[in-house]
């Protein structure tokens, strides 16, 4: 497995030149440090720096990603009636969550719950159709999601907010729904997929806070008008907020340096925004290859926090 890939893309249609180093090799470590220094120089020289982040940005805050080895979509399924989040006796020892008598196994990769098939996979609960038909599925997940309201911004979130205050960073574009960029102090944030800490009534649109929803004694919180309160996120089957999307597009198109971190870059239309970058300083920081690595000018296979701690 390559620990580092340093890619320079020359303009005018010239072929790529790449230097690859084994992760354990001393030369590779020196080269990785060199790449971070190159990134630091580009940031220093930038006048329109833009950051595009995915789920990997928040994993170091204790929030699981979706498609990684221990990602959310590998953590089993939902048994709505039993108020449980998928764990499988065959995949590991389940631990009791005394707060709601649920069983949660973060390492479970099958979809069973003590031998039973789940009502919904964790991917299905983010479907608009499932939410409309069975909102209990989403709220079973919600009541078991300990990161909500508890996760704190990590060094990447804090550094980005620092750059914005210094008028170095033009915008943060995020696929995440955790609100940690704002918690760190970032102001200009384009949340492509919404924010799971905000809620509103599906019928009348009245806004609700995370605290208000968590305080609801009912599994599915209802508005005073009788409508179901839903999270302010983009479910599968829903379109993106086009004001947010075009704002992000314009920011990327105007960027002189574009840092892309913690995203598999396989979810569209969000990933397609990178096609609007026309500069020569696209940097991808990710621990796994992405479809855009060949387009990037610098690719760093390192943990995001490790890289940002050196910037």
Active site members = 193
Which parts of 196-303 fold into alpha helices (H)?
Answer: 210-214, 242-254
CB atoms under 10 Å from CB of 47, counted, come to 11
Distance of CA 108 to the CA centre of its chain: 21
Query: How many Cα atoms occupy the beta-carbon half-sphere of 203 within 13 Å?
Result: 8
Asked whether the beta carbons of 252 and 173 are under 8 A apart, the reply is: yes
d(C-alpha 29, C-alpha 219), whole Å: 50
H/E stretch holding 180 reads helix 180-184
How far, in Å, CA of 175 to CA of 162, rounded? 20
As a whole number of angstroms, the distance between CA 79 and CA 120 comes to 7
Asked if 144 and 95 count as a contact pair (C-beta separation under 8 A), the reply is no
CA atoms within 13 A on the CB side of 76: 27
The Cα–Cα gap between 121 and 117 comes to 9
Residues 6+ apart with CB under 8 A from 268: none
Two tokens, residue 119:
């009502």
User: Is residue 279 within 8 Å of 297, Cβ to Cβ?
Assistant: no
């Amino acid at each position: 497995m390559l620990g580092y890939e340093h890619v320079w893309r020359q303009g005018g249609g010239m072929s790529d030149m790449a230097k690859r180093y084994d992760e354990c090799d001393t030369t590779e470590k020196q080269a990785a440090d060199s790449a971070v220094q190159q990134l630091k120089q580009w940031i220093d020289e930038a006048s329109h720096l833009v950051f595009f982040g995915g789920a990997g940005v928040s994993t170091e805050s204790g929030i699981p990603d979706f498609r990684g080895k221990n990602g959310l979509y590998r953590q089993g399924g939902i048994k709505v009636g039993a108020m449980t989040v998928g764990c499988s006796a065959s995949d590991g020892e389940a631990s009791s969550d005394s707060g709601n008598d649920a069983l949660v196994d973060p390492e479970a990769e099958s979809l069973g719950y003590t031998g039973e098939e789940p009502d919904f996979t964790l991917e299905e609960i983010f479907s608009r159709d499932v939410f409309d038909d069975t909102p209990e599925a989403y709220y079973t997940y919600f009541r078991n999601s300990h990161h909500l309201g508890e996760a704190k911004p990590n060094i990447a979130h804090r550094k980005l907010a620092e750059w914005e205050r210094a008028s170095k960073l033009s915008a943060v574009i995020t696929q995440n729904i955790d609100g940690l960029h704002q918690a760190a102090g970032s102001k200009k944030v384009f949340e492509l997929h919404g924010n799971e800490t905000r809620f509103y009534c599906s019928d009348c649109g009245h806004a609700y806070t995370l605290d208000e929803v968590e305080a609801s004694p009912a599994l599915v919180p209802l508005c005073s008008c009788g409508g179901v309160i839903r999270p302010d996120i983009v479910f599968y089957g829903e379109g993106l907020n086009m004001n947010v999307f075009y704002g992000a597009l314009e920011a990327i198109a105007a960027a002189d340096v574009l840092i892309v971190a913690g995203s598999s870059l396989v979810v569209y239309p969000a990933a397609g925004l990178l096609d609007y970058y026309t500069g020569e300083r696209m940097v991808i920081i990710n621990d796994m290859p992405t479809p855009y690595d060949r387009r990037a000018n610098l690719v760093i296979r390192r943990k995001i926090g490790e890289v940002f701690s050196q910037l």
